[in-house]
């Protein structure tokens, strides 16, 4: 079978930083495909390779990497694309074309039209299969997401559409399900009888940098909250699926999302970008702090506090599950700390369970200590990157790591109030936690897990 990944956005940041390294590893691990990168930034392959590909790239990867100058605005753009594809598939009996759209959502409609055109005119004496991969955010809002989906469904079957949220390819996400559903002791404490609150913190040190053009149209809500954060919440709070099949997991995820009301408590801000991004001012939210809850029988009443965004002092990604502390009352000792589960994604993948044990040389004084799992120490440092997992599943035709349209639509419904209020932004100095994030914690009487 001859497989070709047609990379729309082939000269973009995502292709360069994440997709090309993932392709290179997969080729090195026995997968077989050709990449046809499309872009406008370079006239020819030589310039493209020089600027876009690491100097250490393997010969094998380079031999599979093709480039085509492609201007989507040109009405004749599909002609050379079709011709190049015909050259690449000449003599093949079985062909699979994988269209990978790493594009601004505003370009989807045009790209899909062009794909349909190529598809309808491609000359090939072969059996032809196709897939389309669409990066997040899927649309700008609920309405546009449905519109894009309708357009996609005119050209592809739903089973051929892969909607990417690379967080589902991350080891920590998959581990959340294993932690919850393969451990009796965790199952029995993982609900509102034992959990007091949950925090999700995703602070990044970088700004919007070279992605300014893309990010300006997106902002933090579309960039991470509608997708990565919502997916994390489903994994943290869904009921046990009947099996770990994609269909059964999707059923449980949708139940979680449907039980989250549109977010009403939130604040957004943008960093003071003078001096950063070569003087360009970012006019879109780059940080948000919010509270929501999952109104299912087992999770209702647990506040979930979220903060996420750019240009922070420290890169920190973690989930903190704080347990109720009845012991303090029962033992008449205010010094007894609560138990917690801390899942740290950055800087290192670790899971800590915080418990109280005796401080030596005291009379019945306890101290919180942590029982730690460290992914790299236990399983080695070479966990595949999320994108490698994602691309591997696409090649294998396995949809277990991809959100369904239903999940995406529910997520847009949940974040809609945040999108409507995007203009009300505070400005925060770079490398500081925006004041509204501290205010949120004070209003609700909790401390961020810093
Ligand atoms: C991407 C966002 O989806 O996720 C970026 O577009 C963000 O803005 C990134 O920095 C975070 O992903 P990771 O894999 O680095 O945690």
Q: Kindly report, residue by residue over 366-425, the tens digit of the pLDDT.
A: 999 999 999 999 999 888 899 999 999 999 999 999 999 999 999 999 999 999 998 788
Name the residue of 105, 223, 387 whose CB sits within 8 Å of the most ligand 1 atoms, as the mutation to test its pocket.
Answer: 223
Are the C-beta atoms of 414 and 257 separated by less than 8 Å? yes
Please state the pTM of the whole predicted model. 0.95
- Residue nearest atom 2 in ligand 1 by C-alpha distance: 223
Does the Cβ of 204 fall within 6 Å of ligand 1? yes
Give me the pLDDT at residue 426, please: 93
**Contact 96 CB / ligand 1 (< 6 Å):** no
Q: Relative to the CA of 202, which ligand 1 atom is closest?
A: 16
Distance 178 CA to ligand 1 centre (A): 23
Output the CA 224–ligand 1 centroid distance in Å: 7
**Ligand 1 pocket member 223 (CB < 6 A):** yes
Instruction: Please state the atom number of ligand 1 nearest to the C-alpha of residue 346.
Output: 16
Q: Mind listing the domains of the chain with CATH numbers?
A: 2-135 (3.40.50.720), 168-444 (3.30.360.10)
What is the rounded distance in angstroms from the CA atom of residue 170 to the CA atom of residue 158? Answer: 24
CA 434 to chain CA centroid, nearest Å: 23
Give, using CA atoms, the residue closest to atom 10 of ligand 1: 204
> Pairing relation of β-strands 304-309 and 316-323?
unpaired
Q: In whole angstroms, what separates CA 53 from the centre of its chain?
A: 24
Residue 209, phi-psi category: left (phi > 0), alpha (psi -120 to 50), beta (remainder):
left
Sequence-distant (6+) residues with CB within 8 A of 330 are none
pLDDT of the residue at 180: 97
Q: Which helix (H) or strand (E) holds 159?
A: none
* Ligand 1 proximity of 388 Cβ (cutoff 6 Å): no
* Tokens encoding 210: 């070279």
Cα separation, 170 vs 345, whole angstroms? 9
At 216, the pLDDT band (50, 70, 90 cuts) reads: confident
Q: Is the CB of 203 under 6 A from ligand 1?
A: no
Largest CA distance in the chain: 83
Q: Which of 202, 204, 232 to mutate to test the pocket of ligand 1 (most atoms within 8 A of CB)?
A: 204
Condensed to tens digits (0 to 9), the pLDDT of residues 266-312 reads 999 999 876 555 656 788 999 999 999 999 999 999 999 999 999 99
Q: What is the pLDDT of residue 209?
A: 78
List, as one string, the DSSP characters of 190-256: SSTTTEEEEEEEEE-S--SGGGHHHHHTTHHIIIIIIIIIHHHHHHHHPPPPSSSSHHHHHHHHHHH
């Amino acid at each position: 079978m001859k497989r070709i990944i047609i990379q729309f956005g082939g000269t973009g940041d995502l292709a360069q930083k994440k997709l090309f390294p993932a392709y290179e590893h997969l080729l090195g691990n026995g997968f077989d495909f050709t990449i046809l990168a499309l872009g406008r930034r370079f006239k020819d392959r030589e310039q493209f390779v020089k600027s876009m590909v690491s100097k250490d790239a393997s010969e094998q990867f380079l031999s599979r990497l093709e480039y085509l100058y492609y201007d989507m605005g040109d009405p004749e753009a599909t002609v050379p694309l079709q011709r190049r594809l015909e050259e690449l598939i000449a003599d093949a009996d079985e062909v699979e074309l994988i269209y990978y759209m790493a594009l601004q959502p505003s370009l989807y409609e045009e790209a899909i039209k062009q794909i349909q055109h190529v598809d309808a005119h491609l000359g090939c004496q072969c059996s032809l299969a196709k897939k389309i991969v669409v990066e997040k955010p899927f649309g700008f809002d609920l309405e546009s997401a449905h519109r894009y989906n309708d357009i996609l469904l005119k050209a592809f079957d739903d089973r051929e559409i892969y909607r990417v949220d690379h967080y589902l390819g991350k080891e920590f996400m998959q581990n959340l399900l294993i932690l919850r559903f393969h451990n009796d002791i965790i199952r029995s404490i993982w609900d509102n009888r034992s959990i007091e609150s949950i925090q999700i913190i995703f602070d990044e040190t970088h700004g919007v940098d070279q992605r300014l053009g893309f990010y300006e149209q997106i902002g933090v809500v579309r960039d991470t909250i509608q997708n990565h954060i919502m997916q994390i919440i489903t994994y943290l709070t869904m009921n046990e699926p009947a099996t770990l099949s994609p269909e059964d997991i999707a059923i449980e995820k949708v139940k979680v999302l449907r039980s989250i009301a549109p977010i009403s408590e939130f604040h957004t801000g943008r960093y003071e970008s003078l001096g950063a991004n070569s003087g360009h001012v970012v006019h879109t939210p780059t940080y948000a702090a919010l509270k929501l809850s999952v109104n299912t029988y087992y999770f209702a009443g647990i506040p979930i506090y979220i903060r996420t965004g750019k240009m922070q002092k420290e890169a920190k990604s973690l989930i903190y599950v704080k347990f109720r502390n009845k012991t303090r009352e029962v033992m008449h000792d205010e010094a007894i700390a609560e138990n917690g589960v801390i899942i740290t994604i950055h800087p290192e993948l670790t899971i800590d369970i915080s418990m109280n044990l005796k401080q030596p040389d005291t009379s019945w004084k306890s101290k919180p200590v942590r029982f730690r799992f460290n992914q790299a120490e236990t399983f080695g440092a070479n966990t595949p990157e999320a994108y490698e997992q994602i691309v591997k599943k696409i090649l294998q035709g396995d949809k277990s790591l991809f959100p369904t349209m239903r999940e995406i639509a529910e997520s847009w419904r949940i974040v809609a109030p945040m999108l409507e209020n995007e203009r009300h932004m505070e400005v925060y100095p770079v490398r500081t936690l925006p004041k509204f994030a501290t205010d949120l914690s004070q209003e609700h009487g909790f401390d961020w897990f810093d």
